[in-house]
Amino acid sequence: MAGATYTRIYLHERPVADITPTTFKSEQLPLSSLVPGENEVLVKVHWLSLDPAMRGWLNDKRSYVPPVKIGETMRAGGLATVIKAGPGSELKEGDVVSTRPGMRCWTEYAVVKTKDCEKLVYPKGANMLDFLGALGMPGLTAYFGLLHVGAVKAGDVLVVSGAAGAVGSLVCQIGKKKGAKVYAIAGGKEKCKWLEEEVGVEKAFDYKDPKWKEEFKKVGYLDVYFDNVGGETLDFMLTRLKVGARIPLCGAISDYNNPHPKGLSGYMNLISQRAKIEGFIVFDYAKEYPAAISEMASWLADGTLKRKFHIVEGLDNAPKALPMLFTGGNTGKLVVKVSDPVNKDAAKL
């Protein structure tokens, strides 16, 4: 491998609003510069997760994680194979791992701390990509947001925004499994058709149709609103609450690129309806992940939980793919394929 190089993509300038062609830059570096130290491993990256939260990591603001620094390789969760283990590492060459979202994974190769990697243990019927979908952050977010924060129960009217996305499409399916009547909100006829015909929601509403709110009122009032988008849709849902309704505030993608988000005018309905709105971060449930993964895996194994991935080929396309999350270009979980797994059997494709 003498003279071999690898590509990494780093934050070049912070976007003020939308991500632009100059937000990220890429460079080639000698592979020989990547040497794992004590309790570190050199990994070859195969898959990257693209997540709306990444937009927030580009802002120089206080949040639940520090911002990505200018010049730093862009952060992302990923799936990778260990190429070389440093001294003291519990991982060994050939292990297939997931890297925590905090790792700098917009790169073909990386040196990461062993403690920031988790060796994949495949439940029956699971494959590698499931660790970025139902068994990864989107699945766990859907699971804990709906069942713990939303406390959904059989017979509830559940409304889900961002419903054709990674988290939303799983929330719809978990809600159905728990006996809720599920209504979806998504952008465009195609997504609504997919939600009704394949995901199996009662009805899907296209929020880009100017008449959708009038149509939605026919549903009546709701018990749980799982909010992925914030903004105007959240404000409208505040007017549709039953007494004791719950709103798990998962995300607010409609405002992530907006430097001056507007406030909510409908918040007083929370008082009259004795309703609850609660923000949450999936990482706070880390201790409970194994039980959730086991239940989600059983649904994957019996074929009752549908997977949907939107795959973009090539690390170089990651900067163009990330903004798709903000224009609705993806259905299901958006991922980037960086390279083929080193060992196809170990990766269980």
Ligand X SMILES: NC(=O)c1ccc[n+]([C@@H]2O[C@H](COP(=O)([O-])OP(=O)(O)OC[C@H]3O[C@@H](n4cnc5c(N)ncnc54)[C@H](OP(=O)(O)O)[C@@H]3O)[C@@H](O)[C@H]2O)c1
Interface ranges with ligand X (CB under 6 A): 51-53, 137-138, 141, 162, 164-168, 186-188, 191, 228-229, 250-254, 280-282, 325-326, 328, 330, 334
The least distance separating ligand X from the CB of residue 226, rounded to whole angstroms, comes to 9
C-beta of 150 vs 165, nearer to ligand X: 165
Sign of CA dihedral 113, 166, 175, 232: positive
C-beta of 36 vs 101, nearer to ligand X: 101
The least distance separating ligand X from the CB of residue 280, rounded to whole angstroms, comes to 6
Under 8 Å between Cβ of 135 and 203: no
CA-to-CA distance for 132 and 122, rounded, in angstroms? 13
Sign of CA dihedral 24, 141, 39, 90: negative
C-beta of 51 vs 223, nearer to ligand X: 51
The least distance separating ligand X from the CB of residue 63, rounded to whole angstroms, comes to 11
C-beta of 8 vs 246, nearer to ligand X: 246
The least distance separating ligand X from the CB of residue 28, rounded to whole angstroms, comes to 30
| Residue 233: closest CA among 253, 256, 260 | 253
| Residue 323: closest CA among 47, 61, 2, 17 | 17
Would you give the DSSP letter of residue 19?
Answer: -
The least distance separating ligand X from the CB of residue 77, rounded to whole angstroms, comes to 10
CB half-sphere exposure, 39, CA atoms < 13 A: 4
The least distance separating ligand X from the CB of residue 141, rounded to whole angstroms, comes to 4
CA-to-CA distance for 264 and 336, rounded, in angstroms? 35
For residue 58, the SS3 value is: coil
CA-to-CA distance for 25 and 74, rounded, in angstroms? 10
The token duo for 67 is: 């911002």
C-beta of 324 vs 346, nearer to ligand X: 324
C-beta of 41 vs 325, nearer to ligand X: 325
